[in-house]
Amino acid sequence: MRQIRLHFRLVPPPGVPDPIADALWHIQSGVGDWIDAQVASCQLAFSKVIGDDTDGQLEIVNADDSKNADFPSKALVISCNGGSLTNDQILLFKDRDGLAGNDILVVVAAASGSAFDGCAEHPPDQPGVILFADTQDSEWLLAHELGHIFMGPDHFNSSNNLMCSSTRGIPSFPGFIPELDANQIQQILATSRAMNQ
């Protein structure tokens, strides 16, 4: 069975410079619950990949090691159109303390001001994604960004698909799980296999 471990690191918003205010932000913002929901959605979204075939099994797990490992509070500046990464992105992903091999760093930031809700662009051999927790209320944001890690930057036209360009467009009725087609599943398996070697 292949396991993809996610390591969450938070970037609190500017204005919470001390530990007490920082702790209050964690509680008041509900970012912990948001992360739990995103991980649960990931496990659902990739459940189709976890098959009976031993070779096809893939498990997404939260390493749950984010305590006391937050980055300094700031408003991140990111770029996510296939060009150069910003200094913020380079510095964040460079810090892989506590991460093994191809573990994925998930940076959850509070505010952006820019046009991106999330981004999966990262330096080579430093897999990671950035999510803005206050941007959209999509439950599939993390799963979508992990999809980019596994399958590359392309989007899918169908709003039923996990890799639809707008995750808010994915149906939200209870029990619905975004689709992954056979080709996408093969890509996920191939990438996760490589990441586990």
Binding site for other proteins (CB under 8 A): 13-15, 74-75, 77, 80-81, 87-88, 110-119, 135-136, 138, 141, 144-145, 155, 165-169
Min dist CB 72 to other proteins, Å, is 10
Answer for the pair 93, 52: CB distance below 8 angstroms, yes or no: no
Q: Which is nearer to other proteins, 3 or 84 (CB)?
A: 84
Eight-class DSSP state of 164? B
Rounded Cα gap, residues 86 and 194, in angstroms: 27
Structure tokens of 133? 């927790």
Find tokens 């619950």 and name the residue.
33
Q: Which is nearer to other proteins, 116 or 186 (CB)?
A: 116
Min dist CB 48 to other proteins, Å, is 21
Min dist CB 16 to other proteins, Å, is 8
Min dist CB 32 to other proteins, Å, is 20
Which residue type sits at 129? V
Q: Which is nearer to other proteins, 44 or 75 (CB)?
A: 75
Min dist CB 179 to other proteins, Å, is 17
Q: Which is nearer to other proteins, 159 or 186 (CB)?
A: 159
Eight-class DSSP state of 63? -
Rounded Cα gap, residues 161 and 98, in angstroms: 33
Structure tokens of 175? 């029990």
Q: Which is nearer to other proteins, 60 or 141 (CB)?
A: 141
DSSP string, 121-145: ---TT--EEEEETTT---TTHHHHH
